[in-house]
Amino acid sequence: MDIEQLDPTPEDYAFRDEVRRFYDQNLTDEHRRAALLTTWALAEFEYGRSWQKILYARGWGAPNWPVEYGGAGWSPKQRLIWEMESQRARPPEIMRMGKNLVAPCIMTFGTDEQKAYFLPRIISGEDWWAQGYSEPGAGSDLASLQLQATSDGDDYILNGSKIWTTFAQFANRIFCLVRTAKMQKKQEGITFLLIDMDSPGIELRPIYTIAGEHEFNQVFFTDVRVPKSRRLGEENAGWSVARHLLLYEHSAGLLRMVTELRWRVRWLNELVGLEADGYGGSLRDDPDFSRRLSLLEIAVEAADFAAAQLIADAKPGAPPDATGELLNIRNRETAQALTELGAEAVGYYGAPDQRGARKVVTDVPVVGPPHVLLPMPFYLAQRANTIAGGTPEIHRNNVAKHLLGL
């Protein structure tokens, strides 16, 4: 998508130039490399953290939030221009569970004290949140969760565990769904809590991915005291907060995802243009490979237009509908297919473990030519893309129910 397609005014160009200047002046080489190395959610946490602080200092810490909480108050067109320039500049990834997931819930369900305390800490990059939803026996069937919260005066006492908790090792807060009562319907008796990660009794056990990365954790709670003032919404009514949050999660990062898809298409085009057989031939000469790549390029173009339309139509602070969820299913599948082509393109260079060479600052050399460093980690990381945030089966059930009314 290009600014020319937005019927731009001189003010739009001026805004575009202002955003572009900001990126040019503030993105360091290390930020850029951190973005380049991101195969899943983050390359290295520190670069996302420092980037959030830079955004905040400029007043753009959370442009899409309502203005009263620090949003930029941009028009739909400006939001699109911002996203386009962000695609172009490619800043490092930021852990989004605070800014994009729990913050809108705090705005909707929080007390005045909770809003005044938590929102400034999220937008400034002081607080980083993890998401404590899934449990060993509760993933797709989230309402079966069992992390027990027993009432004790002004506190709850928590016992149990959460699993697949992304980057909990970097978070200083975690929002959790807990069981406060056993009622007839399992969706009842759930409460939403805002918890400090340094509370006594919380322990992390790392879980390593197929690519050897420490992205997930199991988080254990043993007699953890959480003040009742940290409850978001009413006791036993946490399911409505949970569902509100899922609306944001299921539609989150559409343009960011499209950006990623575009980068991968560009990168695959470079990759397939390289000599592959030692005799001057490249994968581009392979009609089957070229055909598969072209089909995916078309899918990315369509995804870009659809995401831009959705963003232009969105009202600041309003929850998204299931259209974003529908697009997300498609985009995740496209992302997987692109990384499959990438892994195919690098062949046996995908085999060595190159984690040392994939650091932002490193002197470990790449085994093979430079372009072979990322395709295999991308491929491995993307296996999780159609599970994280809900599986396609569950999303399709949601779309059928909420969008199609079936």
Ligand X SMILES: Cc1cc2nc3c(=O)[nH]c(=O)nc-3n(C[C@H](O)[C@H](O)[C@H](O)COP(=O)(O)OP(=O)(O)OC[C@H]3O[C@@H](n4cnc5c(N)ncnc54)[C@H](O)[C@@H]3O)c2cc1C
Query: Which residue ranges make up the site for ligand X (CB under 6 A)?
Result: 131-134, 139-140, 164-166, 384, 387-388, 390-391, 393-394, 397
**Cβ of residue 385: shortest distance to ligand X, in angstroms?**
7
- 171 touches 184 (CB < 8 A): no
Determine the residue with CB nearest ligand X.
139
- 224 touches 200 (CB < 8 A): yes
Nearest residue (CB) to ligand X, 276 versus 337: 337
Nearest residue (CB) to ligand X, 183 versus 207: 207
Nearest residue (CB) to ligand X, 334 versus 386: 386
Classify each residue of 197-227 as buried b or exposed e, where b means 16 or more C-beta atoms within 10 Å of its C-beta: beeeebebeeeebebebebbbbbbbeebebe
Non-local (6+) Cβ contacts of 185 within 8 A are none
**Cβ of residue 374: shortest distance to ligand X, in angstroms?**
18
**Cβ of residue 6: shortest distance to ligand X, in angstroms?**
34
Element (H, E) at 65: none
Nearest residue (CB) to ligand X, 323 versus 397: 397
What are 148's two structure tokens?
């027990």
**Cβ of residue 47: shortest distance to ligand X, in angstroms?**
20
**Cβ of residue 254: shortest distance to ligand X, in angstroms?**
18
**Cβ of residue 142: shortest distance to ligand X, in angstroms?**
7
**Cβ of residue 178: shortest distance to ligand X, in angstroms?**
12
Contacts 24+ apart (CB under 8 A), 94-97: 94/48, 94/49, 94/51, 94/52, 95/41, 95/42, 95/45, 95/48, 95/49, 95/128, 95/129, 95/167, 95/170, 95/171, 96/252, 96/253, 97/128, 97/129, 97/130, 97/131, 97/166, 97/171, 97/175
Classify each residue of 3-23 as buried b or exposed e, where b means 16 or more C-beta atoms within 10 Å of its C-beta: beebebeeebeebbeebeebb
Nearest residue (CB) to ligand X, 59 versus 137: 137
Nearest residue (CB) to ligand X, 137 versus 369: 137
Nearest residue (CB) to ligand X, 27 versus 105: 105
